[in-house]
Structure 1
Amino acid sequence: MAPPFAGGEEDEEARWCGLSTDMMEMILKHLPIADHISVSIACKSWRLATSDIILPALRAPWLLGSPMASTSLSWGFYTSSNGGQSLGLEIPTEFQRQWCCGSSKGWLMHLREPRNHSQYYEAHLLNPITGATVELPPFPPTVIKGVISTSPFATDFMLAALCFESTNFDKYVIVYQPRHPRRKKILIDNAMDIMFHHGRLYILTDLAELLVGVFDPRWKVSFKSIPTLFEEEGRHPDTYWGKLVESNDGVFVVYCTITTGAERQQLKVFKIKEWGRHHRIVEVKSLGDRTFFVGPFSDGVSISKMKSSSKLNIIKPDHIYYITGSEYSLWAHCMQKRHTFRVEEFKMTGNILEWFIPKLEDRSNLMVVTPTHSTSLLLTIIIVMLAVIGQCLLGWLSI
């Protein structure tokens, strides 16, 4: 194999783009996750070479965190399956001091205080993997959670933000779509969580009522109400929190009755069943091979065939993982044993934490070929590649 930088610039590009999938996989095994991401977004040929390679750190959701004691926000990413270790990735500097109020389908929603003393804040979407940004219309500073329906570059893109009135704390939802100049404000009594699924807006209230909103081409929304989760039990718990979770085969509702001590929290899971135009909620006793991840301002997500990527074996199937407590500690609920416990192996305490699902397929800002996208990365790959070739030669000579 000829040296990577032998020949002219065109030969150089051809050699980097011509690395085989086997060689790329051998190289990636020796690189940290930050370099995994850089390789996958460097150019189209490297993207294709890495598309069939399953990176262990991408199997489980990441955690977005910022030290609470810090005077300035410094958002960075940490592993959820390897004890909260840093991934060595931070969001761009211009977003570090902005408040992150949404983590949805691979994008983050950020709010920044306006420069003209307006009552509304500047809002942006950020894909921290590709670096793509989307400017949004101004939003009120009281956004609790922002969610999106799909990629903001899709024609059917919508964004919904759960907000509250600063005077009386009444909740409401703002829905935005670029094709419609006016945002839609929906007043919802006691809204607790929101989520998009297949273009529908799901709203969970603290009265355990679930509303399903459908938008027509004229930008009108009609809601269907699904019976309360506690209809069969005949009573409503005094205090509880509820979260919506999206899965490939439907929508789930996780709710937890709050009692004294986190260990005594009782979680229940319900799945929304559809029969034609009718909806029904049924309790689920097991998640099967699924793992649920829920958080304050992130989409609730379901991941199938969850396997830990480290010897710590923190993340397991048929479990629900969530963040709670003043120290933002990680807790888990085992569906099979009906047991709630703190994940002691997870050491990221004293930080603001939220789930983030990396999306690598949105590559709107990729160049056609960028063999020198990162000089340090290329030097690392050269060193690793030479080491791999040396190991192969030594193995061949020993035969």
Structure 2
Amino acid sequence: MAPPLAGDEEDEKARWCGLNMDMMEMILKHLPIADHISASVVCKSWRLATSDIILPALRAPWLLGSAMDSASLDWGFYASSNGGRSLGLEIPKEFRSQWCCGSSKGWLMHLRKPRRRFREFEARLLNPITGATVELPSFPPTIIKSIISTSPFATDFTLAALCFELINFVKYVIVYRPGHPRGKKLLIDDAIDIVFHHGRLYVLTDSAEIWVCAFDPRWKVSFQCILTLFEEEDRHPGSYWAKLVGSNDGVFVVYCSTTTGVEGQQLKVFEVKEWGLRHHRVVEVNSLGGRTFFLGPFSDGVAIYKMKSSSKLDIIKPDHIYYLAGSDYSLWAHCMQKGRSFRVEGFKLVDHIVEWFIPDLEDRSGLMAVTPTHSRSLLLTISFVMLAVSVRCMLGWLGI
């Protein structure tokens, strides 16, 4: 039976924290990931008990999806490993009807229509795990992708948004930093992707040039241009898409020709290498060095290093590039060793796949209010599960 809910608050907390570890692990196996996250901030023993369940869910980025029902959009998160299992974590209702235009470092950026006409859209950052929100200045409604350099509560926080002009559809980049009333428009033509790496912003252009933007404390920007990915006679490679990927030890470019359709897509990977103090060069690589790349329309391009599968059900493999393609944004993968792309068949998610989400569970300070004495719903859930487990064990002992 569960400890009583009455009594002194400190004694009650001590009784809950003193639960047998085996019993805790048995209970947690029946709870969804949302309750795991809440339970992990109660005390050290509960966090230790939840680590074996939460950590496997962090092996690969989650997928943000929706049932796309005609009546409502039930946004939820799904594990990209183990065939798209639901994590039981949903987007708050007030954000479901808003346009999500960014998924970066554990935060989602949402745009909502202004209360008055002819105004720019109101923007907010949402941490779907902690429920924290951060108000942003107004942004144009033509944002294609938005990313952040670090936590919005850090002193060096910077946000970059890739937008396009409504008249001529020319793409450009806006950067924002707290303390400055308006965003700064970067004078880089035809930008097609952006990524932050070690505080600097990398911008990939349609002509396959890479611009490195550094920001000083006075909010001035310095630019460096990296040579194009192609030879002079091949400056216009035709129909293609390209994405930037940030890794701990460098920046990569994934280039894909689309002239042969989704089935015949061939991907090439380039690494940006530093050459001296202020020079860079781009070289093609044939291996990801044990990394796994994840690409999406409006999420950070990220690299997970030495990802290991824990079961035969895992569809995420090392030295693969996973991306969303086709009219239905289905999940595709490119094997670097075999040099071919294929559709991931073992993925059972019937919902509409929208984007990758990189969970960040290191900072769970926003959940510290979730304790046994302040969250009756979590306690009742655990008490009910404990009762069900006890009855099941008793029936098994009686041989019924």
Whether these two folds match at TM > 0.5 is yes
Gap change, CA 1:58 and 1:184, over 3 Å in 2: same
Contact 1:294 1:321 in 2 (8 A): yes
1:372 Cα deviation after fit? 4.0
Determine the C-alpha separation between the residues in 1 that align with 2:49 and 2:166.
48
CA deviation digits over 1:288-346, x for unaligned, max 9? 32111000000011112323455423111110000010111110000001011001112
Gap change, CA 1:54 and 1:280, over 3 Å in 2: farther
Gap change, CA 1:242 and 1:381, over 3 Å in 2: same
Bigger shift: 8-17 or 244-253?
Answer: 8-17
Secondary structure of 1:263's aligned partner: coil
Determine the C-alpha separation between the residues in 1 that align with 2:60 and 2:24.
22
CA deviation digits over 1:33-63, x for unaligned, max 9? 232222234x354675358546322211111
CA deviation digits over 1:200-235, x for unaligned, max 9? 011011211111100112211111111111138845
* 2:116 aligned partner: 116
Gap change, CA 1:150 and 1:68, over 3 Å in 2: same
Contact 1:68 1:352 in 2 (8 A): no
CA deviation digits over 1:217-257, x for unaligned, max 9? 22111111111111388454201111111111111111111
Contact 1:44 1:366 in 2 (8 A): no
Q: Give 2:162's aligned amino acid.
A: L
Gap change, CA 1:248 and 1:51, over 3 Å in 2: farther
- The within-5 A match list for 1:376-391 is 376-384=377-385
Contact 2:38 2:367 in 1 (8 A): no
CA deviation digits over 1:81-135, x for unaligned, max 9? 1222322211111111100000000000000001112330010000000000000
- The answer on 1:31 being equivalent to 2:24 is no
* 2:279 aligned partner: 278
Gap change, CA 1:51 and 1:207, over 3 Å in 2: farther
Determine the C-alpha separation between the residues in 2 that align with 1:154 and 1:94.
26
Aligned length: 396
1:188 Cα deviation after fit? 2.4
Contact 1:256 1:266 in 2 (8 A): yes
Bigger shift: 95-104 or 77-86?
Answer: 77-86
* 2:222 aligned partner: 222
Determine the C-alpha separation between the residues in 2 that align with 1:317 and 1:368.
38
* 1:249 aligned partner: 249
Secondary structure of 1:262's aligned partner: coil
Gap change, CA 1:373 and 1:231, over 3 Å in 2: farther
- The answer on 1:371 being equivalent to 2:372 is yes
Determine the C-alpha separation between the residues in 2 that align with 1:274 and 1:23.
53
Q: Give 1:117's aligned amino acid.
A: R
Contact 1:24 1:49 in 2 (8 A): no
- The answer on 1:162 being equivalent to 2:162 is yes
- The answer on 1:313 being equivalent to 2:314 is yes
Secondary structure of 1:11's aligned partner: helix
TM-score, length-scaled by structure 1? 0.90
- The answer on 1:16 being equivalent to 2:16 is yes
* 2:212 aligned partner: 212
* 1:269 aligned partner: 269
Contact 1:81 1:309 in 2 (8 A): no
* 2:90 aligned partner: 90
Determine the C-alpha separation between the residues in 2 that align with 1:47 and 1:117.
50
Q: Give 2:382's aligned amino acid.
A: I
Determine the C-alpha separation between the residues in 2 that align with 1:290 and 1:142.
33
Determine the C-alpha separation between the residues in 2 that align with 1:272 and 1:11.
57
Contact 1:125 1:134 in 2 (8 A): yes
TM-score, length-scaled by structure 2? 0.89
Determine the C-alpha separation between the residues in 2 that align with 1:233 and 1:20.
69
Determine the C-alpha separation between the residues in 1 that align with 2:208 and 2:251.
15
Determine the C-alpha separation between the residues in 1 that align with 2:174 and 2:390.
56
Determine the C-alpha separation between the residues in 2 that align with 1:232 and 1:269.
19
Bigger shift: 135-144 or 374-383?
Answer: 374-383
1:377 Cα deviation after fit? 2.9
Determine the C-alpha separation between the residues in 2 that align with 1:2 and 1:128.
30
Contact 2:330 2:353 in 1 (8 A): no
CA deviation digits over 1:241-298, x for unaligned, max 9? 1111111111111111112231211101111111322111121211132111000000
* 1:49 aligned partner: 48
Determine the C-alpha separation between the residues in 2 that align with 1:335 and 1:348.
25
Secondary structure of 1:252's aligned partner: strand
Determine the C-alpha separation between the residues in 1 that align with 2:299 and 2:118.
27
Contact 1:44 1:367 in 2 (8 A): no
Determine the C-alpha separation between the residues in 1 that align with 2:153 and 2:71.
35
Contact 1:327 1:350 in 2 (8 A): no
Gap change, CA 1:54 and 1:332, over 3 Å in 2: same
Determine the C-alpha separation between the residues in 2 that align with 1:306 and 1:147.
24
Determine the C-alpha separation between the residues in 1 that align with 2:379 and 2:304.
33
Secondary structure of 2:367's aligned partner: coil
Determine the C-alpha separation between the residues in 1 that align with 2:58 and 2:88.
14
The two structures, once aligned, show a CA RMSD in angstroms of 2.9
* 2:293 aligned partner: 292
* Unmatched tracts of structure 2, length 5 or more: none
Determine the C-alpha separation between the residues in 2 that align with 1:393 and 1:350.
39
Secondary structure of 1:15's aligned partner: helix
* Unmatched tracts of structure 1, length 5 or more: none
1:177 Cα deviation after fit? 0.5
Contact 1:103 1:356 in 2 (8 A): yes
Q: Give 1:223's aligned amino acid.
A: F
Determine the C-alpha separation between the residues in 2 that align with 1:102 and 1:341.
26
Q: Give 1:303's aligned amino acid.
A: I
